[in-house]
Amino acid sequence: MKLMNKTLLSAAMAVALTSTAAHADLSDDKVKIGVLADMGGVYADVCGKGCLTAVEMAVEDFGGSVLGKKIEIVSADDQNKPDVGSAIVREWIESKEVDVVTGLVASSVTGAVTKVTTDNKKIALIAASASNAFTTKACSPYNAHWTYNVVALANGTVKPIVQQGKKKWFFITADYAFGHALEGIASKVIKAEGGEVVGAVRAPLGTTDFSSYILQAQASGAEVVGLANAGADFVNSLKTAAEFGLTEMMDVAGLLVFTPNAKSLDPAIAGGMLTTTGFYWDRDEESREWSARFKERQGVIPAMPHAGAYSATMHYLNAVKAAGTDDSDTVMKLMKSTKPDDFFAKNATLRSDGRMVHDMYLVRITKGSERKSEDDIFKIESVIPGDKAFAPVLPACDFK
């Protein structure tokens, strides 16, 4: 009996000590989250203030505090400029006690920012960038690439189109890291399936006049024009393609289409286009419930980076709570050993390389005659299991 009491007392002391250590190990006596995104440019609708809203929702749903201490949020506009983004994050870490950074849209900005976060052993929750570099050549034990990447987009959209017999492709590509990566991965998929790339042009980020690029595509002899761009660039390039009659001559594939951008287009132009996404608001009851709350606050249905930002933030906060500390190494280890499971993350695992693998969805942009409401933008055609969508872990990025 005495031995049992002693054992119980020791266990109770261990719990008490763990609780005390948890409070003592919370750096700066709080957890502070930085949300960095393009707030007013070509990607503002993709993440922007919507990502800030999503993170605020996550913090509120979590309870506003962790380990008895307040969770704080700061945000900034990176203007799609790598030097601006990296300078902001460096100041956040050095002067404003930021523990984790999320948002992160343009891959060029994310590349600059993750160098800063890695150097300072801070976690980057990448919610909106597409390049696969952050789990390959620019991998880091502190990167958690959450929502999607170019490999999943190409495997989801390009492969079935080529398999349907559309073999000749031409690319109109955003001329920076994301566009280059998407064109490169998509080209590999095309060639692996027996197709060919007959040409490509690169347009600067924020291009408004796509006429010369469309004319080159028309003259290429391609069967499919792949738009390796996103946001306002995707909208402007597709509108120009329709104005020049390109959409009547050949197929146009949007390789990264967000719901706000698809919604802004006349369904006579975009209806019927296949694309791949990591989230759609009308997928099931869970996604509809969260999306309704988001729309009530933001005024629009969420794009996948908004859902991804919420999911990543919630998984991070749960790991901090369970670990009893916001030490990045400890928290990341727990994030990778615990499966994400929420309205966004289905059949999900955060791998050792920081890639969050989860179900992706091949969707079709609905035609005007199909739409039951203004938000009825996509129809899910099929579910793409994560192990089919994303590339395997590279040995050099296997951070165990």
Question: What are 386-398's pLDDT values in tens digits?
Answer: 999 999 999 999 9
Cβ neighbours of 395 (radius 10 Å):
7
Q: Are 273 and 365 in contact (CB under 8 A)?
A: yes
Is the C-alpha dihedral spanning 39, 44, 49, 53 positive or negative? negative
Output the six-digit token pair for 122: 């801070």
Amino acid at 240: T
Coil, helix or strand at residue 257: coil
Residue pair 35/56 in contact by the 8 Å Cβ criterion: no
d(CA 100, CA 225): 39
- Percent pLDDT > 70 in the chain is 94
pLDDT for 68 equals: 94
Q: What is residue 371's three-state secondary structure?
A: coil
DSSP-derived secondary structure for 127-177: -S---GGGGTTT--TTEEE-S--HHHHIIIIIHHHHHTT--EEEEEEESSH
| 37 close to 77: Cβ distance less than 8 angstroms | yes
Domains and CATH numbers, the chain: 11-148+283-358 (3.40.50.2300), 151-277+361-389 (3.40.50.2300)
Helix, strand, coil content of the chain in percent (nearest 5): 50, 20, 35
pLDDT at 28: 85
pLDDT for 21 equals 41
Give the count of beta carbons closer than 10 Å to the beta carbon of residue 61: 14
pTM: 0.91
Q: Which parts of the chain register pLDDT below 50?
A: 1-24
> H or E segment at 315?
helix 304-323
pLDDT at res. 99? 97
pLDDT per residue as tens digits for the range 49-93? 999 999 999 999 999 999 999 999 999 999 999 999 999 999 999
Rg of the chain, C-alpha, whole Å: 22
Handedness of CA 204, 207, 211, 217 (dihedral sign): positive
C-alpha–C-alpha distance, residues 37 and 35, integer Å: 7
Q: What DSSP designation does 375 have?
A: T
* Contact indicator for 122, 93 with CB cutoff of 8 Å: yes
What span, in angstroms and rounded, lies between the C-alpha atoms of 359 and 356? 10
Cα 126 from Cα 36, distance rounded (Å): 10
C-alpha closest to that of 33 among 309, 322, 330, 355: 309
- Taking the C-alpha atoms of residue 232 and residue 152, their distance in angstroms, rounded to an integer, is 21
Which of 111, 109, 99 lies closest to 67, judged by CA?
A: 99
pLDDT at 400: 83
Say if residues 73 and 33 touch (Cβ distance below 8 Å).
Answer: yes
**Ranges assigned E (strand) in the chain:** 31-37, 65-66, 69-77, 100-103, 123-126, 143-145, 168-174, 196-203, 224-228, 251-254, 274-277, 349-350, 356-357, 360-365, 378-384
